[in-house]
Amino acid sequence: MIAKTPPPPYYAVIFSNIRTQVDEGYGIMAEEMVELAEKQPGYLGHESVRDGLGITVSYWESLEAIRNWKMVAEHRLAQRLGREKWYQAYKTRICLVERDYGFENGGIND
């Protein structure tokens, strides 16, 4: 569930969002967007959690990969419907991951 990403530098898109109470197609579209993102050149992985606030972080090789994904037709439609129906508020942050470290099952991976 924690994305396996390569050594930095790489990019992260932090998408923090609050849903409206409108469901109309949201679940299907969200699944389709994950499947489509996974096929994009430069996609490295993603992590997603919702509990009131939703946070989805997707990881990418480059700014160009992020730009290309933002322009994919189905994704543009999803973005428009998101603003019109599904999201009460959101914030997208484009970030350069400069350093990372982790820990799993008793071992530190620095």
Q: At what angle do helices 63-71 and 73-81 cross, to 10 degrees?
A: 70
Check if the beta carbon of residue 12 is closer than 8 Å to that of residue 76: no
Residue 34 within binding range of a copy of itself, rule CB under 8 A: no
C-alpha dihedral (56, 102, 5, 37), degrees to nearest 10: -10
Binding of residue 22 to a copy of itself (CB under 8 A):
no
Identify which of 44, 49, 43, 58 has the alpha carbon closest to the alpha carbon of residue 92: 58
Among 6, 25, 41, 102, binds a copy of itself (CB under 8 A): 102
Using CB under 8 A as the criterion, what x/- string covers residues 36-75 for binding a copy of itself? -----------xxxxxxxxx-x------------------
Footprint of a copy of itself on this chain (CB under 8 A)?
Answer: 1-3, 5, 8, 12, 14, 16-18, 47-55, 57, 83, 87-105, 108
